[in-house]
């Protein structure tokens, strides 16, 4: 078992990088895409079956369970660090604009996407997951079309020197607020299908949990770290990991997903808890843990090249997601006082789906809310919408610079 485990670890960590370097595409596509591609190749080329005959079973069994656990651990740390960045913007007097932009951009897209999902379920019932919950499926589609991925968005802003601009700050804070809406809606969807309790009881538990984490634990932790200035980085990190794990256990016991607990733990933890280890933890998660999540996600994808319906479904959900998000964000930004070009750039930036979309659809698929076919279509939509974000923005950005 040890030999097979370490061979699987090497495959997941090294092969995606080799694919990028050998074919010269590492500069065109992010490493996440290459990891998904490797997982897809494992699933479609028969390579996984060949590995299975040599004792490396990446299809099922304890090896997959171990790798999946490592992937979700890395994801929990990354999500907690994302939650730790969720603080209000005080750098500009115009910071208030991100609140209505996020509310309308997420809410309108989610509502229209839910109506679209409802029509999909009526006309194509095979797209429903094993739970056969029509209302939950419709909400799941609406949620999937509304997501914005903060990590990739930040990378795009850095590459184009927009991080410290008004548009960059608005986009970052809109994405942070979108993350909060996503987790709350996802928690509501899961409460509909994964619990025998009444949804009102789950909401009550959730409110109590949020009150304890944000109104009690957060100020206590802040005071603790403020009065212990000489606390070692190791002790602070141990406290952070403990809070993340306990929070994840609490939300999992409520019937919600453990990742939601990791995010709220990140919000509750003061930045002093991470100390100087924050970037080290981020790099460790991205380089050594998250590849397992993306490779195994790629292995789940089923992309029938010759299936016309699949590509029609993929293009349709991509068009609906792009149009709804772009129009709702752009129009709201214009109403708050931004110029049309600035509002359009913000609408383009909010197309990023990436990691957060893959997290959401993985949770929805595992909960039996969506089928494998719509899961694959939504994953393709996430990749397409993420890739068009930068080109859309770069078309508009020179026009602002020339003014």
**Structure-token pair, residue 79:** 């999500």
Beta bridge partners of 370: 128
Quick one: pLDDT at residue 119? Answer: 95
Quick one: pLDDT at residue 272? Answer: 76
Residue with tokens 């930045």: 271
Please enumerate in sequence order all residues whose Cβ is within 8 A of that of 361, keeping only pairs 6 or more positions apart, or say none. 144, 370, 375, 378, 379, 382
**Structure-token pair, residue 110:** 């989610």
CB atoms within 10 A of CB 19: 17
Q: Which helix (H) or strand (E) holds 208?
A: helix 199-210
Residue 370: phi and psi, rounded to 5, are -120, 155
DSSP string, 223-285: HHHHH-TT--HHHHHHHHHHHHHHHHHHHHHTTS-HHHHHHHHHHHS-GGGTGGGHHHHHHHI
Where on the phi/psi map is residue 337: left (φ > 0), alpha (ψ -120 to 50), or beta?
Answer: left
Quick one: pLDDT at residue 90? Answer: 44
Name all domains of the chain by residue range, CATH numbers in brackets. 2-60 (no CATH), 91-269+316-369+380-395 (1.20.1530.20)
Of 157, 132, 127, 160, nearest in space to 144 by CA: 127
Quick one: pLDDT at residue 195? Answer: 60
| Distance separating alpha carbons of residues 121 and 119, to the nearest angstrom | 5
Quick one: pLDDT at residue 198? Answer: 63
DSSP string, 280-314: HHHHHIIIIIHHHHHHHHHHH----TT-HHHHHHH
Whether 329 contacts 101, CB under 8 Å: yes
Please enumerate in sequence order all residues whose Cβ is within 8 A of that of 332, keeping only pairs 6 or more positions apart, or say none. 100, 101, 104, 105
Residue 30: phi and psi, rounded to 5, are -70, 160
| Distance separating alpha carbons of residues 266 and 4, to the nearest angstrom | 34
Largest CA distance in the chain: 64
| Distance separating alpha carbons of residues 323 and 145, to the nearest angstrom | 10
Quick one: pLDDT at residue 287? Answer: 86
| Distance separating alpha carbons of residues 274 and 111, to the nearest angstrom | 37
| Distance separating alpha carbons of residues 162 and 9, to the nearest angstrom | 37
Whether 266 contacts 218, CB under 8 Å: no
**Structure-token pair, residue 132:** 């056969």
Quick one: pLDDT at residue 396? Answer: 73
| Distance separating alpha carbons of residues 253 and 258, to the nearest angstrom | 9
Instruction: Tell me the pLDDT of the chain (403 aa) as tens digits.
Output: 577 788 888 888 998 888 888 877 766 666 777 888 888 888 777 676 777 776 676 666 787 888 888 888 888 888 888 777 655 444 444 557 788 999 999 999 999 999 999 999 999 999 998 888 899 999 999 999 998 877 677 767 766 777 677 888 888 788 878 877 888 888 888 888 866 556 677 778 888 998 999 899 999 988 888 776 556 666 778 888 899 999 999 988 887 778 888 888 988 888 777 766 777 888 888 888 988 988 888 887 778 777 889 999 999 999 999 999 999 999 999 998 888 888 988 898 888 887 788 889 989 998 899 999 999 999 989 888 877 776 777 777 665 555 5
């Amino acid at each position: 078992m040890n030999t097979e485990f370490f061979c699987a670890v090497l495959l997941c960590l090294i092969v995606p990088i080799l694919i990028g370097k050998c074919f010269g595409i590492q500069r065109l596509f992010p490493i996440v895409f290459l990891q998904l591609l490797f997982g897809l190749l494992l699933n479609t080329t028969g390579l996984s079956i060949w590995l299975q005959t040599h004792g490396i079973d990446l299809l099922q069994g304890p090896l997959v369970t171990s790798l999946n656990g490592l992937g979700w651990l890395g994801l929990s740390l990354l999500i907690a660090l994302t939650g730790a960045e969720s603080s209000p913007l005080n750098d500009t007097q115009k910071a208030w604009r991100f609140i209505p932009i996020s509310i309308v951009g997420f809410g309108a897209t989610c509502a229209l996407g839910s109506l679209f999902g409802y029509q999909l379920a009526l006309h194509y019932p095979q797209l429903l997951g094993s739970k056969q919950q029509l209302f939950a499926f419709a909400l799941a589609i609406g949620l999937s079309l509304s997501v914005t991925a903060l990590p990739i968005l930040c990378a795009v802003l850095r590459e184009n020197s927009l991080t410290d601009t008004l548009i960059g700050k608005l986009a970052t804070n809109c994405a942070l607020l979108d993350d909060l809406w996503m987790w709350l809606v996802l928690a509501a969807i899961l409460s509909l299908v994964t619990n025998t309790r009444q949804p009102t009881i789950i909401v009550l538990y959730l409110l109590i949990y949020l009150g304890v984490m944000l109104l009690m634990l957060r100020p206590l932790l802040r005071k603790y770290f403020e009065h212990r200035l000489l606390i070692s980085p190791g002790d602070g990190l141990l406290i952070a990991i403990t809070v993340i794990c306990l929070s994840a256990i609490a939300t999992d016991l409520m019937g919600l997903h453990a990742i939601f607990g990791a995010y709220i733990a990140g919000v509750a933890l003061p930045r002093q808890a991470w100390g100087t280890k924050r970037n080290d933890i981020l790099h460790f998660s991205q380089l050594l843990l998250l590849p397992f999540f993306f490779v195994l996600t790629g292995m789940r994808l089923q992309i029938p090249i010759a299936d016309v319906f699949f590509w029609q479904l993929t293009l349709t959900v991509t068009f609906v997601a792009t149009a709804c998000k772009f129009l709702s964000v752009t129009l709201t930004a214009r109403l708050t006082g931004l110029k049309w070009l600035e509002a359009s750039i913000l609408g383009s930036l909010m197309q990023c789906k990436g990691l957060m979309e893959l997290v959401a659809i993985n949770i929805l698929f595992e909960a039996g809310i969506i089928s494998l076919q719509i899961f694959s279509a939504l994953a393709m939509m996430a990749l397409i919408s993420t890739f068009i974000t930068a080109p859309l923005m770069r078309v508009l950005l020179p026009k602002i610079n020339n003014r």
